[in-house]
Amino acid sequence: MEAFGVPTPRMDWESSNLPDAWRRFKQHAELMFTGPLKNKSEEEQCSFLLLWIGDKGQDRRRSGESFEHFVTELKFLVKDCGYANSEEMVRDHIVFATNLPRVREKSLSQGPELTLDKAINITRSHELSQVQLKAMASDSHEVHAVHRKTGRPGAVNMPADNMKAPKRPTKPVVHVGDITTS
């Protein structure tokens, strides 16, 4: 398959040297995104990348698998493969293998400043906010009525019987001219 007269990047998952194959793939993809595909939206660029990386590269987090477990497994896999920059590989896999478009978009918007820690924090924050939204949605939608005590407008409500009113000063205040004494 060619795009704009240039062969498209393909990741060689069968290579005997996966780190080198990944570097070549990444370099070719970056050239495509800064060249013929530079005017494409991030969403379109992600679609191209997912097509180029193939089925094997699209391994995604299993349903119900915790993010922490997913990242730990990734780190072990990358370490076993002997990649020179294992953090970069884990970071890239988090970004491109996620099935959360908002996480991918926010991660990609970081550009070259995206680190593994930032990618992890972006995903954790998103998942935490999703849990909070679900909790809020499942909460009761009851609205309790607010009752106003009857009485004259502006009147101060007296404390309940079990509460005592604040003590008043025992000494009378005497005003003499402009001087106040107590």
| pLDDT bucket at 151, cuts 50 / 70 / 90 | low
For the stretch 100-122, pLDDT in tens is: 889 989 999 999 899 999 999 99
Q: Where are the alpha helices (DSSP H) in 13-115?
A: 18-34, 42-57, 67-81, 86-97, 101-109
CA 95 to chain CA centroid, nearest Å: 12
User: What confidence score (pLDDT) does residue 110 get?
Assistant: 92
Q: Strand pairing of 6-7 and 174-176? A: unpaired
- What is the chain's mean pLDDT, rounded? 77
Domain ranges of the chain: 1-58, 60-131
Q: Return the structure tokens found at 169.
A: 């000063």
| pLDDT bucket at 170, cuts 50 / 70 / 90 | low
pTM of the model: 0.48
Alpha carbons 100 and 123: distance in angstroms, whole number: 9
Q: Which residue has the higher pLDDT, 137 or 171?
A: 137
- Residue 32 has a CB neighbour count (10 Å cut-off) of 22
For the stretch 40-61, pLDDT in tens is: 887 788 778 778 877 766 666 6
Answer yes or no: are the C-beta atoms of 93 and 50 closer than 8 Å: no
Q: 125 Cβ partners below 8 Å, 6+ apart? A: none
